[in-house]
Structure 1
């Protein structure tokens, strides 16, 4: 499975789990096992806000594009993501954000 990522500002995150040709996105399962080689399923035919393009099956491999929510501390890897290739079963690992900034507190004694 190949997952392309399309970064987008969103107020909520995404969790994806792969099990064969089924993707579970934030608890909702999408089963693409009925697709035959050469099939294309348009994004408009998928009842989900997460698919940014069609799902295609070529040479026995699914290829799709998901929106990748960007947090305020997004990293360059999230802003310009590389495709996820040969995605194994289990939790899909997305590019990580930058560490949160730590606010420094200044203690003023004797003021």
Structure 2
């Protein structure tokens, strides 16, 4: 089974990390199992048909061996500026396993090196 996911970024103060994995016609969303094996070719579920907070506005359809989720809410940090997260491309998945997502959080800032301490000249030295 293939998956085509169109993410809908949503800025949040403290978003929960999103973890997705596909296993056949089953999608795991942060550990919650969404079994869509009942969908036949050409079937569509309208927005709100699945009771999950990240799927509230998503339309789900099956075309042949591909399940498309259009509008999966993608929580991102309010200070995320990476275009791949703010304006994500659709994700096409062709196998089972974890699904790679754009970064939800900006990179951690590089630590600022502490200034080197200069040894003060010893008053006894001339």
Q: Deviations over 1:81-104 (max 9, x none)?
A: 000113421111001354222252
CA contact (8 A) 1:3 1:87 kept: no
Whichever of the two has the greater Rg, that structure is: 2
Indicate yes or no: 2:107 matched with 1:99: yes
Indicate yes or no: 2:89 matched with 1:85: no
The within-5 A match list for 1:35-46 is 35-46=39-50
Structure 2 residue ranges without an equivalent (≥5): 119-126
Q: Deviations over 1:42-70 (max 9, x none)?
A: 23110101113111011231000311111
SS of residue paired to 1:45 = coil
Structure 1 residue ranges without an equivalent (≥5): none
Normalised TM-score (structure 2): 0.76
Normalised TM-score (structure 1): 0.85
CA contact (8 A) 2:7 2:73 kept: yes
Q: Which of 26, 32, 35 is equivalent to 1:31?
A: 35
CA contact (8 A) 2:43 2:61 kept: yes
Equivalent pairs, count: 110
1:80 CA displacement: 0.6
Question: How large is the RMSD of aligned CA atoms in angstroms?
Answer: 2.0
* Alpha-carbon separation, structure 1, partners of 2:29 and 2:48: 17
1:37 CA displacement: 0.7
* Alpha-carbon separation, structure 2, partners of 1:87 and 1:68: 20
Q: Which of 66, 76, 80 is equivalent to 1:73?
A: 80
